[in-house]
Structure 1
Amino acid sequence: MAPGNGSFVTKFILLGLTNQPDLQLPLFFLFLGVYMVAVLGNLGLIILIALTSHLHTPMYFFLFNLSLIDLCYSTVFTPKMLINFLSKNIISYMGCMTQLYFFCFFSISECYVLTSMAYDRYVAICKPLLYNVAMSPKVCSSLMLGSYLMAFSGAMAHTGCMLRLTFCDANTINHYFCDILPLLELSCTSTYVNELEVFIVVGINIIVPSLTIFVSYGLIFTNILHISSTEGRSKAFSTCSSHIIAVSLFFGSGAFMYLKPPSAVSMDEGKISSVFYTSMVPVMNPLIYSLRNKDVKLALRRTLRKSNIV
């Protein structure tokens, strides 16, 4: 018997992204490249922000945490995904539950870090005179602590509910990692409580941050329209555009996957959707925030000069 509560399954087989043999090797190299860009991009931003004193501001404090989350987030499942392209990918029951926990933890963390970044932009543009007080180190640390506490509670709820299910004979997961919905399909006991829990917890962790971000940017855009200078409006829009792109990618793909009834989402559609928030978002975030950010590009050039690289 498996170590889980009442589960007869001791291991799962991950089917992967596709079962077409001709695509396995090309996809392996594609996602290996994507993973390397994600690791180098996020690790580069983490090191750059840590070493550059003029980037020690609230906005870059949140970006530091976002890059750290993305680095860990992509590492939770990409190595297993790459193995699946080359051979049969088997994961133990407890390994699967552990992967599920950390996937939930880092994805929920990202929701709230993106929300904190929206609040930071709101204060910077709408309440500039109060910025140093409203975004003090204590406030920023509290926002990050709250983000991680919400992630911890959400991940515990998802994993705890999954551990109560029984998996009898079926152990083939139609996915490339231990996601919630494909695991629910394998249960030989009722999943009603789990489906309700997923709808509530995911709903809270997508709708609440989304509404907060929407309201923040509504106030920001209202404020920007009152700026008389064309250059000032352009700068304000430019400051916010990177964050809007990152939010749209992450929340859009997540909502498509989890805020539909499980019966309305085929696993093939789910796998394609999940590629966006598991593989593309960790790659896009460092590119978006570095290529569209003058401070980051300037800090990078200075760091490279000091290292005699350029």
Structure 2
Amino acid sequence: MTAPRRRPVLNAPLGPEGRKRLADKIAGIHERGEAARAKLAEKTGKPAGRADIGRIAREANKPDALEKQIAKAEKNAVHLANLGNRADAARAERTAAELRGKLTRRQRGEALQRERETGRASRLDRFALLVKRSDVLTQEHYLIADRWLAALDAAADGEMARPVSPEAPLPEDAEGALPPPSGPAIFLSGPSVLDRWNKAVPVEAVTSGRRRVPLTFDPKRVKVVRRAPVQGPVQGVQAVAHERRDRASRLMELFVSGISTAGHPGWCVPVAIRVILKNECMTDAFVALGVTYGERNRIQAQTAMAAGLEALAPAVNKSGA
């Protein structure tokens, strides 16, 4: 019977320098492993560790579901074309084209969202630097300012859909005011009413028999599939724009009242607005407003910013949004 196989043992002495090189190599391997696990945890949002590292890596490298559908539709189109089924192959190609358009729109929206986030972060870079150097302002104040700026951006996005004066009617004696409709024009509606009215046949010509009323084509309304019922009242574009604008105005009022209620002087409000919303450094804001830039005024301005942002906190957090 053969003897059991022994485990090989390194008998050659390494020496102090060899052992040091081996220890450094092992330490480098451990450091790279820890950095890779930390990077993977940051990417996936999972806690860093060795448990289930294979599953987390598979989830991180998992292909997108929409891309899988596109690849499947393209493969199906090629297979059907090879079989000679041109109709189904064309249908599969149209499905793949629709999925590619959907993926493009989603990627464009994600890129636009990232661009907005980057732009908003760059608009607060001076305030972020002030927070790092300040003994009064904290990271929580920076987060409140970020949410406030997001609310202002949402209100600005709705300005294009918001009318100039939503409830102010046009005076009757104003210049360019159209007279009230009368006669058959009362029953006309739509964007092409004016063109139809200019090209209409005069009533006198019809009653005298010289002309006949032309035949009109009135297409029926195309029925559309109704969406699922939503909870609560349905708001239009203008209503949402009004709501966003009103919320932005309320936030500004809360910020100003928070500073004034704390007993700070009036120059603290424009300084805070210039630093937080207009991305100006505090020195330039003081110089532009003609306020003396000293240690006392600088600390008072930072305290006023903190008071105004703390007054905004209940209104801009997720529970009060």
Tell me the TM-score normalized by structure 1: 0.22
Larger radius of gyration: 2
Tell me the TM-score normalized by structure 2: 0.22
The one of the two structures with greater contact order (alpha-carbon pairs below 8 A, sep at least 6) is: 1
